[in-house]
Each structure stands twice: as structure tokens, then as C-alpha cells.
Amino acid sequence: MILVFGKTGQVATELQRQGDVTTLGRDTADLSDPQACAAVIADLKPSVVINAAAYTAVDKAEEEEALAQRINAASPGAMAGACVQLDVPLLHVSTDYVFDGSGTQAWRETDPVSPQNAYGRTKLAGEEAIRASGARHIILRTAWVFSAHGTNFVKTMLRLSETRDALRVVEDQIGGPTPAADIAATLLTLADAMRGGAEGGTYHYAGEPHTNWAEFARAIFAQAGRDVAVTGIPSAEYPTPATRPLNSRLDCAKLASDFGITPADWQGGLSRVLKEVSSEA
């Protein structure tokens, strides 16, 4: 059994579509209760655990860092401890926010971490707790996740285009938009590899080619046939409670070398997402 923490999130939804998995929502596994998460694993005795749930309200985490710490760090650590007891692997989704966002080079797994906001700090603490547990694991860092469901940049741009014909969008933050469907497929492939004895470790997985939010918005409107003019602006003109990294590029070469998994094609993924959104509408 593949046990998935998360049920309604973007990646968890795609895992349910693509794989034979058992998902856990808040009603059966409250991530603010680390011991409850560990108890579920001990009770169900899965062959692999995937943690696709997290506290992801980046700005709100500035005010609720203690809660984000329990969900993003203490609970993954407890999950890892339970996995050690059963000798089963844990796959955990993490983020580019563990880096400081400086420079222009794509971040490698071995680069120094220095999160610049509460969300990033709690996600890094989760990574560290998993590594310290001794559990067999894969930590999969990703970025700019989007899909036809949940809250994400694509859905927001489509909503705004219903009432706006011009938008100002940040253009100095660079990264790789990543379809949730591709993250799910990657996790299922890695789950099979870990059950087969793969060593694991920390890996990066994100979309290519790298782009900025303004260009991503233009691509969304072009593919969706929406006539919206996008003006690029610096981050300084769109202040948020939590600092966003300017450089969210992730180097995915290690994942390709070890598992043959190449970066996601976000443009093709965007086309599929827009078709799904259109069909649901």
C-alpha cells in the first residue's frame, strides 16, 4: 500500500488519479498532530509513505510560524520515525524556498540553504527532521506548482482575466512552473524505485524552460485565448508579508542521472491543465 498524507491538495489529487494509493485527509490525519500521523502509519503498515501535505499559506505563515512548524517539520519528522520502525521509505515534497533566492544559477541539491521566510524555514526544518531520523527517504524539492484544481497561479490568472483586460505581474522572479500531474508521476516512479531498494536522498524536480511570472501569465492567456495585456513589474512594486526568492531555478540533473526522470515540460502541462479547466467549466 502507498499511503499518502494529503487528499485535496494539488499533488495528492493527481496521485489519486494516477496511482493505487490510500489518501489521508485532515479527518483521519491532522498534520498539526505529529503523533497522530505516526500512529496512522503504525496502524496501516504501508509499503511506502508519501507526504504530499503541508502548510503552504506562505504569507500567513509569517504570523503562524509555530503552526507551520508543527505541520511542515514536526509531523514529517514523526512520519519518518514511524517509517523507521516499519522499515519502509518516506517520500516528502519540499520546496525551492529553502534557498535564499540569490544569483542566477539553478540551485543544486548540495548548495547552501538559507530560507528567507517562515514557510521556507519550516520546510527546511522538515527536511532536517527526516534526514536525522535515519529513515530511508527521498526529499523532492519542487517549485511553482500548478494544476486544474486548488489554488495556484494559473487558476488565479484565469479568474482575473474574467474581469480585467490588463494586469501588472512580477517579472524579476525566475523559476520553473511545474505541473502537479508530473510531480505525482515522478513520486510514483520514485516510490517503486524505493520499494525496489533504491538509496534515495534529496532531489530537485521542476519545469523547464525557466521563465518569470509575467511571461508565465502571458503564456497562460495566449493558450487560453484571453486578451489580457501583461505589464512586467519588479517585486518591490508588489510587496507581500513574506519575501519571495528572486531565483527559484532548480537544477534537476541529479534526478535525471539517478532515475532517468527529466524536467517537466510546463508548456505542455499548461495546455493539458487549460483543457481540463475548460471542460469542467
CB atoms under 10 Å from CB of 149, counted, come to 17
CA distances for 253 relative to 106, 108, 206, angstroms? 10, 8, 11
Cβ neighbours of residue 79 closer than 8 Å, sequence gap 6 or more: 5, 37, 38, 41, 49, 51, 90, 92, 130
**All cell numbers assigned to 40:** 496512522
Torsion sign across C-alpha atoms 198, 201, 206, 210: negative
Residue from 68, 108, 93 nearest 247 by CA = 108
Cα distance between residue 176 and residue 144, in whole Å: 6
Residue whose C-alpha is closest to residue 40's, from 53, 56, 55, 57: 53
Terminal CA-to-CA distance of the chain, rounded, Å?
34
Looking only at the bridges linking them, the beta strands covering 211-212 and 174-175 are antiparallel
Cβ contact 211:219 at 8 Å: yes
- Dihedral through CA 51, CA 263, CA 160, CA 277, nearest 10? -80
List the catalytic residue out of 119, 203, 205, 238.
Answer: 119
Q: Is 119 a catalytic residue?
A: yes
Q: Which residues are catalytic?
A: 119
